[in-house]
């Protein structure tokens, strides 16, 4: 069946180091993927997305890599800061049944990133 999962439920990194959060997916029909950040007590916040026809996309301090061969997605955070501590979710967009505009996101279970001083 379809699933979006994460390799590790928790990740601890030293402040200033780079973080890598991984995600596996199984639906090869997904047309794009999104990473969300959820801080304690708040709703998820969009970080970066990548279309299925891309391998890499960079944002401010973040890079998303997509490996369609092994159905793997990763989020790299450069120079991790205390404010990066949060739960990170990957999500895939299943193409809508009735319309290509439908947002039917399947979320992974999340990775808790803790930044150590």
Partner 1 sequence: EAQVTQNPRYLITVTGKKLTVTCSQNMNHEYMSWYRQDPGLGLRQIYYSMNVEVTDKGDVPEGYKVSRKEKRNFPLILESPSPNQTSLYFCASSPLGQGPIEQFFGPGTRLTVL
Judged by the rule CB under 8 A, the positions of this chain that interact with partner 1 are 4, 31-32, 34, 41-46, 49-51, 89, 91, 93, 98-110
Asked if 5 and 23 touch (Cβ cutoff 8 Å), the reply is yes
Q: Smallest gap, in angstroms, from Cβ of residue 39 to partner 1? A: 11
Beta pairing, strands 4-5 & 10-14: unpaired
How many residues appear in the chain? 117
Q: Write 43-46 long-range contacts (CB < 8 A, 24+).
A: 44/89
Q: Which is nearer to partner 1, 18 or 26 (CB)?
A: 26
Q: Which is nearer to partner 1, 67 or 104 (CB)?
A: 104
Q: Smallest gap, in angstroms, from Cβ of residue 67 to partner 1? A: 18
Q: Smallest gap, in angstroms, from Cβ of residue 5 to partner 1? A: 9
Q: Which is nearer to partner 1, 2 or 17 (CB)?
A: 2
Q: Which is nearer to partner 1, 41 or 117 (CB)?
A: 41
Q: Which residues contact 71 (CB under 8 A, 6 or more apart)?
A: 24, 25, 26, 28
């Amino acid at each position: 069946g379809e699933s979006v999962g994460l390799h590790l439920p928790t990740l601890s990194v030293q402040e200033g180091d780079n973080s890598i959060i991984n995600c596996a997916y199984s639906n090869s029909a997904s047309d794009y993927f999104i990473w969300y950040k959820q801080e304690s007590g708040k709703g998820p916040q969009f970080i970066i997305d990548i279309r299925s026809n891309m391998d890499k996309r960079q944002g401010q301090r973040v890079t998303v890599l997509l490996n369609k061969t092994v159905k793997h997605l990763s989020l790299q955070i450069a120079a991790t800061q205390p404010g990066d501590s949060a739960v990170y979710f990957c999500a895939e967009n299943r193409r809508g049944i009735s319309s290509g505009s439908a947002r039917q996101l399947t979320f992974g279970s999340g990775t808790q990133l803790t930044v150590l001083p």
